[in-house]
Amino acid sequence: MAVITYKCPNCGGELVFDPASQKYKCEYCVSEFTQRQLEEMTPAEGSERVDDTADEPAFTAEDGEKKNSSSSRNGSAQTAMVYTCPSCGAEVVTDETTAATFCYYCHNPVVLGGRLSGEYLPDKIIPFSIDRKSATEQFLKFVGKKKFVPKAFFNEEQIEKFSGVYYPYWIYDCDTDGWINAEATKVRTWRSGDTEYTETSIFQVERAGDITLKNIPKNALKKSDKALVNGVFPFRLGEAKQFSMGYLSGFLAEKRDMEKQEFTAQLHQETETYSQQILRDSITGYSTVNVQNSRINQRKETWNYLLLPVWVLTYAGRNGKVYYYTMNGQTGTIRGELPVDYKKLSLFSLVAGLIVAVVCMIGGYLV
Ligand SMILES: [Zn+2]
Ligand SMILES: [Zn+2]
């Protein structure tokens, strides 16, 4: 299953996923099909074509991909993949991470099934629920309110470039158990006659607990502008569906090019910091709190590979600066203003994803 296009059984037109109805629509005869009906169809398949003119030997993978390295021997080779469009037979040139696109010539949707199989088969997907029409309306409303936006940013030609993209994400859950100990003080002042008294009580406070951190997202595509794509978090991950190729039809999709190992150290650091913070925040009612020792153990971790829907528009300004506009394809959350505070964005998305349970508290005691 290399290159596939879903064809309408009634007229042979291309089927695309329709976010509004959550069904598959033929744009020619206006037929509609359910997920189950789509899965029972046999999609049209394109074939690979080996290009003998490549500088370096062409590599043919099992699933019919052809690798065409434009040679730069210093290791920074740009690799393009060439497929044949199942509808018109033209060549479809893609990046190594492209998983769904459109044929440049006939504009029909093309899903590169082989890119999302085996170890790259997503665990789940959140299908688009905001369609192009309402995404465009909200975009126009958004820029309409902004001053100093160049007209070209929202002219018709520009809006046609508005793309629905499925981005690859690792979603990380983990359980930790933690312990902290802190020195805390309570200060009491009172007056008797002309004298003011201050009493400072010093406490040794301990907190221990099991902490569950859930739904920490990591964008797993090197080339994506992470701050902007992450900026449209959170998604309602509970509504994710079993992955099916059909959802990609009519959209762009990317497969991951970053593996779990690349995030492990960073995630352990983050989960440790969060666990400490949660325990620290449970110490309340003191004038001062000074954490002295802590111990956080990682216990169980779970990784899920998801594709998440984002509407993306980019615009190159006259000064060479690239402007972005992104919208969550599930909830409609918008990021569009620049400059972007990258740090704030990633922190926000992390905090929004946390579900926290602290049990087994040990209270403070007086020294
Ligand atoms: Zn049709
Ligand atoms: Zn074509």
Residues 238 and 272 in one domain: yes
CA of 33 to the centre of ligand 2 (A): 23
| pTM recorded for the entire structure | 0.77
Question: Quick one: which ligand is closest to 30's CA?
Answer: 1
Distance, CA of 82 to CA of 63 (rounded, Å): 12
The bound ligand whose nearest atom lies closest to the alpha carbon of 102 is 2
Amino acid at 115: R
Statement to judge: residues 162 and 59 lie in one domain: no
**What is the amino acid identity at position 256?**
R
Which residues have C-beta under 5 Å from ligand 2, the single-atom ion?
Answer: 85, 87-88, 90, 103, 105-106
For the chain, the domain total comes to 2
Tens of pLDDT along 304-363? 999 999 999 877 666 666 777 899 999 999 887 543 334 444 554 454 444 443 333 344
Ligand 2 midpoint to CA 366 (Å): 76
pLDDT per position as a tens digit, 152-163: 666 677 777 789
| Structural domain for 98, as ranges | 3-121
Asked if residue 194 is part of any domain, the answer here is no
* Kind and range of the H or E run holding 349: helix 342-352
In a domain, 312, yes or no: yes
CA of 93 to the centre of ligand 2 (A): 11
Residue 285 lies in a domain: yes
Per-residue model confidence as pLDDT tens digits over 216-231:
999 999 988 777 788 8
Q: Which ligand is closest in space to the CA of residue 27?
A: 1
- Mean pLDDT value across residues 101-123: 89
User: Which ligand sits nearest to residue 8's alpha carbon?
Assistant: 1
Q: How far is the CA of 107 from the centre of ligand 2 (A)?
A: 6
Instruction: Let me know whether 229 and 311 are in one domain.
Output: yes
Ligand 1 midpoint to CA 11 (Å): 4
Instruction: Give residue 281's pLDDT band: very low, low, confident or very high (50, 70, 90).
Output: very high
- Pair (317, 344) in one structural domain: yes
CA gap 306, 99 in Å, rounded: 13
User: 47 C-alpha to center of ligand 2: Å?
Assistant: 12
pLDDT digit string, tens, across residues 75-97: 334 466 788 888 888 888 888 88
Phi, psi of 347 (to 5 degrees): -65, -45
